[in-house]
Amino acid sequence: MTDYYETIGNIKERAEACRACPCAQSRSQVVLYRGTLEPRILFVGQSPGSKEDEMGVPFVGPAGALLEEALITCRIDSFGIINIINCFPPNNKYRDEFGVACRPFLLDKLRIFAPAAKYLVMLGRDAQEAIRIVQTQQPQLLSHLNFHHIIHPAAVLRNRSWQSKWDEGWKHLKERIDDSS
Ligand code: SF4
């Protein structure tokens, strides 16, 4: 347990000192992780929003509320949530180069939180793409995981016609979890 806190503390220190992309100027603080220490399901989102930037915790804004609702409905209590970048991006707009700059941190977070997990759930296309690249570069790191993709909750909030896609993604995830338990 001590190692865990030391490792997270070390990542936090390095992220706070990081100036590798323009998000260093737009962030108030770094946002790393939320969840249990050894999550069964690891969710990967895109970037912290303004609420996350204020609180220093992933998925605590409106998109987080939608995610929370789905977690409760599906009775998922062993979960962890990370983003592919650690900092609130300028104008709240993610760009691929931020993901490239932050990839060493994504790898660090995956090294800590993925080993105990059984499922890795990518929220949205940017997370899907980032994980695809990690799989190419470090095939062993995630080889034990089952992968699942769900539309990003922020996309559902922007366009309510995607609600059914969101519901469908969670339904399939629940079926997979139930089948394997
Ligand atoms: S988003 Fe990542 S790469 Fe960019 S400044 Fe923050 S920690 Fe550094």
Domain that holds residue 99: 4-180
Domain CATH for 96: 3.40.470.10
Tell me the pLDDT band of 128, cut-offs 50, 70 and 90.
very high
User: Residues of 18-32 as b/e, b for ≥16 C-beta within 10 angstroms?
Assistant: bebbebbeebebbbb
Residue to mutate (ligand 1; options 18, 30, 46, 82; most atoms within 8 A of CB): 18
Question: Which pTM was predicted?
Answer: 0.95
User: Which amino acid, residue 37?
Assistant: L
Query: What is the residue with the minimal CA distance to atom 3 of ligand 1?
Result: 102
Tell me the pLDDT band of 146, cut-offs 50, 70 and 90.
very high
Residue 39 pLDDT: 96
Query: What is the residue with the minimal CA distance to atom 6 of ligand 1?
Result: 87
Average pLDDT on 99-122 reads 97
CB atoms within 10 A of CB 84: 28
Beta-sheet strands, E only, within the chain: 34-35, 41-45, 79-83, 119-123, 146-150
Task: Give residue-wise pLDDT tens across range 45-84.
Answer: 999 999 999 999 999 999 999 999 999 999 999 999 999 9
Task: Give residue-wise pLDDT tens across range 156-168.
Answer: 999 999 999 999 9
Tell me the pLDDT band of 7, cut-offs 50, 70 and 90.
confident
In the predicted structure, residue 3 carries a pLDDT above the cut 80 = no
Nearest residue to 149 (alpha-carbon basis) of 134, 169, 178: 169
25 Cα–ligand 1 center, Å? 10
Give how many domains the chain has, as a whole number: 1
Query: What is the residue with the minimal CA distance to atom 5 of ligand 1?
Result: 24
Per the CB < 8 A criterion, the answer to whether 37 and 2 are in contact is: no
Q: Cβ < 6 Å from ligand 1: which residues?
A: 15, 18, 20-21, 23-24, 85-87, 98, 101-102, 105
169 Cα–ligand 1 center, Å? 29
19 Cα–ligand 1 center, Å? 6
Q: How many helices (H) and strands (E) does the chain have?
A: 9, 5
